A and B are shown apart, each in its own frame.
Chain A
Amino acid sequence: MPQTATPASPSSGVRAPIVNDCSIQVATVNGSGSQTANNTLLRAIFQMGIPVSGKNLFPSNISGLPTWFTIRVNKHGYVARRKEIDILVCMNSDTAVEDVKNAPVGAAVVYDETLGLEKHRADLVFYPVPFQRLVKECCPEAKLRKLVVNMLYVGVVAHLLEIDVAEVTKALQKAFATKPKAFELNKAAVEAGLAFARASLVKRDPFKVARMDRTAGKILVDGNSAAALGCMFAGVTVVTWYPITPSSSLCETLIDYMKEHRVDPDTGKATFAIVQAEDELAAVGMALGAGWAGARAMTSTAGPGISLMNEFIGLGYYAEVPTVIFDVQRTGPSTGLPTRTMQGDVLKTAYASHGDCKHPCLYPSDVNEAYEFAQAAFDLAEELQTPVFVLSDLDLGMNLWMSEPFAYPDKPLARGKVLDDAGVAAMKDWGRYKDVDGDGVPYRTLPGTPGDGKGAYFTRGSGHDEYGRYTESGATYVRNLDRIGRKIDLIKTKGPAPVVDVQGAKLGLLAYGTTHWAIVEARDQLKAEKALATDYCRVRAFPFSDEIRAFVAAHDHVYVVEQNRDAQMLGMLRMEYPELATKMRSVRHYNGLPVDARSVTDEIVRLESNPVASNGAR
């Protein structure tokens, strides 16, 4: 008997199909094993050549709390979070009513029939499914039903959206490549879901997918894995870390890759050392010790770890020790929302530690930049002899993104100015902190360099002269600190240049990191809806390149869009470019969810129509 749970609504006439433009939100309980099901759906759509993105909104909890996975399908390739949900899959009775109440008019709802959600709204399309009966039929083993039930909604959604079943099967094969029994079980569940939907549900929502050719050759990967790969191909040898969400999977993925690809085939010995430290202080201390002794060394953390590392970071800066620090940012302050995203450490990392400090920071926007900036960071750390930060965030690090495949590095590792014993002898009157080349970058030596110790020196965080000798001389201190400042400024030309799109608009937008994806879409919205043309500058490194100054100067005003409360990047820009301070306005988004285009567009429209409003907005 056909399901007719939806009461007639004013808009219940057949709507025109909406093809390849929808958001699917799956609400489950965390720990219920829904991730494989969600990835199967996402991958099947991806394999159909349709641009897709997935975002996992999960709690700081092992199991039992609500979690939502959102899949956005968009023919134009927009991959930012979208606020509106078109298809809800309600597998969590705790959140189902609230989720349904918040759904936009016309959304489709797939749900367990016992939840009775249809009585809460008259303007949605309801698809009740007897999940418990179906899972009993297709999964004889009771203890596996909790996991397998998720594959039922995969089948139901595949039918409703017209996802190619062959692609679902292919995605399942990938997920269960080494587990044939699990594959069969899950495939049976998908088929049961499909069969039920085919026989019992009448399609009354407009959403569907249709094959495209926008994903051929592309990969699907999360930013933490991408950064890990970048580290491996950058030749990292020492990795010291302390577990923290959302950064842990960076080092854990790196461990897996290194064990597979970085054991010397000739000797069977590891070409790396990875150590789980006792805390972030030790993690960064070890990374600095290793960098001092010449290794490509790194650590990875999130905001709380950065706070702990501050003293050591200043030592690295002042004693000029290379290391790479990944900060996969999450929502602060304090423990904050550990499983939500934010661009909250931008200011803290740029000037981390006491005294005058300024650190090179790289801001990847996508997985390919996570991969490439990881490599650039090791080169820059060794070339400039200083700690370098790579600022990712939870959205980039832990969510799946489409990307062109990673390119093999075409440049050799840049190991910087390192002298051996003969090199020290050849250089008259070598001193560890002497500016020989006029670029502020001195020549260093490595402990253990064979010879008679001509290049031996004393490394200290206390005042030192050009030879590393202790001094409290004010003049020497100023000379040394100014040289370090000049050295760090080399990032302006050596770091990744900003990506600037200038079309002659009066209005400029400036963003960095994952905010980029909302900007891409917001620019199109501003143009289409308000005929507002915008130019765009995407910042990719600090200290800021001169191009960024030129961009701000060339526009009537510039909206700096970022994901934190205090307009941290705007503050840094105003500090660096005081003469341009009043040209810049702020658009901020900081509720822990990745910024969406609509929020940006609406705020810019509001500020454009009422410029006075921007005065209070930092």
Chain B
Amino acid sequence: MSTSIPAVPPAPAPAAGPKVNRLGLPVTDYQGAKSTLCAGCGHDVITNTIISALWEMGVEPYRVAKMSGIGCSSKTTNYFLNRSWGFNAVHGRMPAVATGALLANRNLISIGVSGDGDTAAIGMGQFVHLLRRNVPMVYLCENNGVYGLTKGQFSPTADYGSKLKSGVVNDLPAVDLCAMAIELGCGFVARSFSADRKQLLQVLRAAVAHRGLAFIDVISPCVTFNDHPGSTKSYDYGRANEKPIHELGFVPTWEKATEEVDVPAGGVMDVEMPNGGTIKIRKLERDFDPRDKVAALNLLRECHDKKEFLTGLFYVDPQAPNFIDLLDLGPAALATLPQSKVRPSKAVLDQINDELR
């Protein structure tokens, strides 16, 4: 995020009524329209996890801009945060629209939701430049390896050798969006699994606290077109093969005292986030430091060769300068600067006219 999470004191718990977050808002204030996706779609789990994460993090709904492209995943921005603005742009071009919105108002908290076709096929060009610019937003790719709305064609993230329902085998290599993101300078790169809601929630909480682009590739099975034997993006395949590289939890500054958060026990590595809060990481089998870029790239290369399904926070660089910082803007949104700030004086025009004589 481009600006820090406001230091709002925890709201006093009301004597009765629903549980509220630090802004005093119940979780229902973070909900959206009813989903129209297929029953059991991985995307709906992600939607609900986004709701939980933003509610728990106490993000003001009015500051959130929900950005998306075209596809099943892109529809989901309508299914959370009814009290936030949403923009369902054109196919593959959400990054440009999201970038423009942040240029206009740097105080927006931008949550982008895209899919594997939207990101890795038609939108690859824009996605690459979003990474390169380190635009401060959360970008989720709800990755199921197929085009759902057009009835199940392969997307570029389908694994080599993966099978469609019709028996067609993918004979092209998959795009690894996480490796690409790290390579291009993204300072927060994670992969998760929609069936691993516990991990996804913590990744999302940490992503909201990041100052640059937070990219999360979420494997999210398509129950209609890609949930069969032979698919590497099915629930069964995911459940059998997911290997978290570590356990992680995110502790925002204001929660330290309350210890409500689920902190991994044992050998914990702390990554401090400049906007407030700490990512707590507990090692599992591997000795892996997500602040080490080369290690992250090696890990992804290795898991590609071994056909492993690794999840977790692959890379984090909390200090990477983001695009908005580079523009040297003031704290106020450009969009609402008054005329006195944006129209130079008559003296300036007189001077320019003189220069042109």
- Which A residues form the contact surface with B (CB < 8 A)? 217-221, 229, 232-238, 240, 257, 261-262, 264, 267, 269-273, 275, 277-279, 281-297, 311-312, 315, 405-406, 408-409, 412-413, 421, 445-453, 456-462, 469-470
Listed by A's residue number, 27 A-B pairs whose Cβ atoms lie within 8 Å are: A229-B349, A229-B352, A235-B339, A269-B328, A269-B329, A272-B342, A282-B129, A285-B93, A285-B99, A286-B97, A289-B104, A290-B104, A293-B335, A295-B105, A297-B104, A409-B343, A413-B343, A421-B62, A447-B105, A448-B63, A448-B85, A450-B62, A456-B86, A458-B77, A458-B85, A458-B86, A459-B88
**Interchain CB contact under 8 A, A288 and B100:** yes
Q: What 8 A-B pairs have minimum CB-CB distances, sorted nearest first?
A: A289-B100, A285-B96, A453-B83, A294-B335, A235-B342, A447-B85, A295-B104, A286-B100
**Interchain CB contact under 8 A, B101 and A447:** yes
**Interchain CB contact under 8 A, A238 and B103:** yes
**Interchain CB contact under 8 A, B344 and A461:** no
A405 CB contacts on chain B under 8 angstroms: 353, 356-357
A232 CB contacts on chain B under 8 angstroms: 344
**Interchain CB contact under 8 A, B101 and A453:** no
A272 CB contacts on chain B under 8 angstroms: 334, 342
A292 CB contacts on chain B under 8 angstroms: 87, 97, 100-101, 104
**Interchain CB contact under 8 A, B348 and A261:** yes
Which residues 92-131 of B sit at the A interface, judged by CB distance below 8 A?
A: 93, 95-105, 107-108, 125-126, 128-129
Contact of A453 among B61, B95, B328, B349 (CB under 8 A): B61
When chains A and B are docked, how far (Å) is the Cα of A261 from the Cα of B351?
11
Give min CB distance, B344 to chain A, whole Å: 5
Which residues 329-357 of B sit at the A interface, judged by CB distance below 8 A?
A: 329-330, 333-337, 339, 341-344, 346, 348-349, 352-353, 356-357
Contact of A237 among B97, B102, B104, B353 (CB under 8 A): B104
Give min CB distance, A449 to chain B, whole Å: 6
Q: Nearest residue in A to B346 (C-beta to C-beta)?
A: A408
**Interchain CB contact under 8 A, A294 and B348:** no
B83 CB contacts on chain A under 8 angstroms: 452-453, 456
**Interchain CB contact under 8 A, B93 and A446:** no
When chains A and B are docked, how far (Å) is the Cα of A53 from the Cα of B344?
29
Give min CB distance, B155 to chain A, whole Å: 20
Q: Nearest residue in B to A464 (C-beta to C-beta)?
A: B88
| Number of residues from B at the complex interface, CB < 8 A | 55
Q: B65 contacts the other chain (Cβ, under 8 Å)? A: yes
What number of residue pairs across chains A and B have CB atoms under 8 A from each other? 225
Q: B78 contacts the other chain (Cβ, under 8 Å)? A: yes
Give min CB distance, B213 to chain A, whole Å: 15
When chains A and B are docked, how far (Å) is the Cα of A413 from the Cα of B335?
13
Q: B89 contacts the other chain (Cβ, under 8 Å)? A: yes
Contact of A470 among B78, B107, B343 (CB under 8 A): B78
Q: B275 contacts the other chain (Cβ, under 8 Å)? A: no
**Interchain CB contact under 8 A, B126 and A282:** yes
Contact of A285 among B89, B329, B344 (CB under 8 A): B89
Contact of A462 among B63, B88, B329, B346 (CB under 8 A): B88
Q: Nearest residue in A to B336 (C-beta to C-beta)?
A: A294
When chains A and B are docked, how far (Å) is the Cα of A345 from the Cα of B357?
32
A257 CB contacts on chain B under 8 angstroms: 352
Known: A271-B337, A461-B90. 5 other contacts (CB 8 A): A233-B349, A271-B341, A282-B99, A286-B100, A460-B86
Q: B35 contacts the other chain (Cβ, under 8 Å)? A: no
Q: B257 contacts the other chain (Cβ, under 8 Å)? A: no
Give min CB distance, A413 to chain B, whole Å: 5
B128 CB contacts on chain A under 8 angstroms: 278
Contact of B329 among A273, A277, A283, A458 (CB under 8 A): A273
Give min CB distance, B345 to chain A, whole Å: 9
When chains A and B are docked, how far (Å) is the Cα of A291 from the Cα of B90?
16
Q: B84 contacts the other chain (Cβ, under 8 Å)? A: yes
Contact of A233 among B65, B77, B86, B344 (CB under 8 A): B344
**Interchain CB contact under 8 A, B103 and A413:** no
**Interchain CB contact under 8 A, A237 and B330:** no
Contacts A295-B104, A312-B93; A456 near B357 (Cβ below 8 A): no
**Interchain CB contact under 8 A, A271 and B334:** yes
Q: Nearest residue in B to A457 (C-beta to C-beta)?
A: B85
When chains A and B are docked, how far (Å) is the Cα of A285 from the Cα of B129?
13
Q: B48 contacts the other chain (Cβ, under 8 Å)? A: no
**Interchain CB contact under 8 A, A273 and B327:** yes
Q: Nearest residue in A to B66 (C-beta to C-beta)?
A: A458
